[in-house]
Structure 1
Amino acid sequence: MMLSEVIERELELTGGILFGRETIVYRGSYNGNNFLGKNSSDEEPDQRGYWPVERWILSLVEAQNPVKLTGEGLTKVQGYDFSFLDAVNACEERLLGTFRDSWPLIKVLDIGGKLTQTSFGTNEIPPIPAHIHAGCTKDRNNQISCGKAEAQFFPFIPKDSSPITRMGFKKEVSKEMLLEAMNEFGKSDALYNLMNEYEVKEGECWMVRPGFVHAPGPVLTIEIQRPQDDFNFLAWKLGERINADQLVSMKNDNQLRGLQNVEEFVDRCIDWEMNVDPKSETIWKTNKRVFKHTESFEMSKIFHDMFDGEEWLIKKGKNLYYENDCSPKGIGDFHNS
């Protein structure tokens, strides 16, 4: 039986729904709080030294880790051995209509780890290392315009917690200061001290355009992004040092990734004006906005700018019935009970 026929049969059986298996992606650059799996600093990593810290939702994208596993990141269709990508390739119009180019990569990020002391005097749970999305740098062939845009939403903050997220640079930072800090990759925390710090609040969303430096804070995060997995780290894990015998390979694999040096990195990958703009917080950060409230549920807009997304909160003991229309832009029909 052809794959398209298998998919048609499955859609008939499920009433038009194609279910995906849970898709977990491992990373070696940060730890979690054991929300998505055994991923805290006390847990053992896999054979690559990576932990299960990201859940990808109906992904058409393969993870681009320095040490790759074939198919990592691609969602498998529930009950079958083929991937969602295989299914879309076989039945694109049936599954996504004309919206394949708009299909995003959605992630749940479990960011955390142990409290660590930094070289500039703070005690913090490390964020994801400071990084940039500026397109593929393999063979030095990147362009910021092809970089990954993303948005980060914080659905809840644990009690008695004040996590810090870092976005862009302090206004007094110069390119010379940045280059000096980037040359300390794996040897110091100097770069983090150049970045703006913001206390994460529940219900906030940050828009991260290509070329914007960010170190997402240690809190459960819902992330939506262009369907690609490009990244270049400016610095390594906060509070962690890389052994001298591994420094060159780690720098090449995680920072330069095909670029010649940090000077080329700064010149080609960083939108300087965006990163030192003192108005960044007012431009790129928003709060969720409630647009529908009933006795049964509350709906809020959580993403903005290049993305659109909603949070649906169904009250205890209540139900929400939703009938979809033919377009991802449509709001459908809602019924209370």
Structure 2
Amino acid sequence: MAINSVTELKSVETNVQSLVEGELSRTGGLLRLAPAWVPRSFLQPGLRIKLHPDDTYAYGLDRGGIDERWFASTTETANVGRADDEGLSYCVVGDSKFTLRDAVDSCGAALIGSSIWDKYGKWPVYSKFFDNMGPIPHHMHQSAEQAALVGQEGKPESYYFPPQHNNVGNNFPYTFMGLEPGTTKAQVRKCIEDWNKGDNGILDLSKAYRLKPGTGWLIDPCILHAPGSLCTYEPQWGSDVFGMYQNLVEGREVPWSLLVKDMPESKHQDIDFIVDQLDWDKNVDPNFKDNHYLEPVPVADTRDEGYLDRWIVYGKVDQMQYFTAKELTVDPGCSALVKDSGAYGLICVQGSGTINGEPLVSPKMIRFHELTEDEYFCSEEGAKKGITFSNTSGTEPLVCLRYFGPEVNPDAPAMGAYRNNSF
């Protein structure tokens, strides 16, 4: 009988390198991954990430509902009371499992490429589905310099709203981002001072943008944002730092501890320090949308060949390309040989077929411990040689999202390229 639960797999901590090398050789550069589910105690799940409704609180009611699935992750969550491996992706080889982190540690450049391995010594990025019923607090993610003060890493992040996971918009499909031009630090300081007096009014200083499936955003560290209720695919840096600047959301209290959790303990009551964590120029940028909004840009015109590959996340943060992402659509009955410049994590969001001959299926419902055939990690060598995607359906497109590490796609578009589909 086939194994269909991650709990039935044998955990492997030794001989990982030979297992990885053998699997990469067999599959042409692919490692199959098991789902990695993440709960958040302060949010309400949006119920669009295909997790069985009986398993929404699989970690326990006290841990909160599961509203995230992390992809090709070597990053642990920062949740209080978390499981030891929470947030980490597991590779599935036969009847064995081991973390993608162990695979990277064991194989290094042979898996993720020498440029990333030599500079970072790890897979420094991850992506996830982020799915909530309503909006979340106006918050920021610290910069590298700020996060280093507490032994963490900063976090730029990006958004793409896949139509396949947004058949409904839920309660508030709008995101507040940045601050209105002309906002003063004194106004923000007053909001923090008023933390225990009811709604601190931080959203009065911001602007909401309507979210549209099939589009996205690139968000720098130190920029305030209050994500809305679309299910979001989020390539981002491998960190879980944040500071919540809004104290009340849909009548739910946001504790002060979530404002200062990634700030030095000596600064937890220093309101000036807290306000100065924000990058002021970027928050009050009068051209905020122009500098952060994304729409897909075709990689090449391949529609006559039965598939379409599009950039969905591109652009730079302070002249650095931290991550990029593409969306591949293969027409019914067609195949595509797709070559890329570097390693990537992949999730199939629609359809069924094969990837280098391995099963590739987007499931309709997933139990908490259930294995799937919708997620893979592709090595740099495999990506450069090319991966063959075949759509075995006669009616439905095969759609996959894949994200890449830092500086591996110098040919990616610049911010704003969607306006003329040229770069």
TM-score (norm 2): 0.65
Q: Determine if contact 2:147/2:154 at 8 Å carries over to the other structure.
A: no
1:84, distance to aligned residue in structure 2 (A): 0.7
Mean CA deviation greater in 31-40 or 2-11: 31-40
Equivalent position of 1:320 in the other structure: 335
Task: Select the residue among 218, 232, 252 that pairs with 2:243.
Answer: 232
2:256 to 244, 251, 254: 251
Q: Which residue of 1 aligns with 2:175?
A: 165
Alpha-carbon offset, residue 164 of structure 1? 0.8
Distance 1:7 1:38 in 2: 31
| C-alpha deviation, 1:35, in angstroms | 1.7
Change (3 A) 1:179 1:43: same
Provide the residue aligned with 1:119 in structure 2.
none
1:290 to 292, 298, 314: 298
Q: Distance in 2 between matches of 1:230 and 1:237?
A: 20
Deviates more, 1:11-20 or 1:87-96: 11-20
TM-aligned CA deviation for residue 82 of structure 1: 2.1
Provide the rounded CA distance (Å) in 2 between the counterparts of 1:299 and 1:140.
Answer: 37
Q: Per-residue CA shift, 1:57-82, capped at 9, x if unaligned?
A: 11010011233321110111124342
Cα distance change on mapping 1:159 and 1:25 into 2, 3 Å = closer
1:177 to 184, 187, 190: 187
Structure 2 residue matching 1:86: 3-state secondary structure = helix
Task: Report if aligned partners of 1:135, 1:230 keep a CA contact under 8 Å in 2.
Answer: no
Q: Deviations over 1:31-57 (max 9, x none)?
A: 2221223679x9797243421111111
In structure 2, relative to structure 1, the CA distance for the partners of 1:77 and 1:184 (3 Å cut) is farther
TM-score, reference length from structure 1: 0.81
Looking at structure 2, the residues matched to 188 and 271 of structure 1 have their Cα atoms a distance apart, in angstroms, of: 23
Post-superposition CA distance 1:238-277 (Å, at most 9, x none): 22243xxxx8xx312x11113422321111x210111011
Match of 1:147 in 2: 154
Residue 105 (structure 1) aligns with = 126
The answer (yes or no) to whether the contact 2:330–2:389 under 8 Å persists in 1 is: no
2:84 match: 70
Identify if the C-alpha distance between structure 1 residues 238 and 189 changes in structure 2 by more than 3 Å, giving closer, same or farther.
Answer: farther
CA contact (8 A) 1:132 1:231 kept: yes
The one of 75, 90, 99 equivalent to 2:106 is 90
Aligned to 1:221: 232
Distance 1:44 1:90 in 2: 31
SS in 2 for 1:201: coil
Judged with a 3 Å threshold, the aligned counterparts in structure 2 of structure 1 residues 70 and 167 are, in CA distance, closer, same or farther, namely same
Structure 1: 4+ residue segments shifted above 6 A? 42-45, 136-140, 159-162, 329-332, 334-337
TM-aligned CA deviation for residue 280 of structure 1: 0.6
- 1:88 to partner: Cα distance: 0.9
- Give ranges in structure 2 of 5+ residues lacking alignment: 1-13, 316-320, 344-379, 392-423
User: Compared with structure 1, are the counterparts of its residues 218 and 3 closer, same or farther at alpha carbon in structure 2 (3 Å cutoff)?
Assistant: same
Per-residue deviation, 1:139? 9.8
CA displacement 1:197-217 (0-9 Å, x = unmatched): 111122222111111111111
* Residue segments in structure 1 that go unaligned for 5+ positions in a row: 113-125
Q: What is the number of equivalent residue pairs in this alignment?
A: 313
Shift of 1:279: 0.9
Cα 1:110–1:147 change in 2 (3 A) is same
Q: How does 1:8-87 map to 2 (within 5 A)?
A: 8-36=21-49, 37=51, 46-78=60-92, 79-87=95-103
Contact 2:313 2:324 in 1 (8 A): yes
RMSD: 3.3
| Aligned-partner Cα distance in 2 for 1:171–1:56 | 35
CA contact 1:23–1:74 (8 Å) conserved in 2: yes
- 1:22 offset after TM fit, Å? 0.5
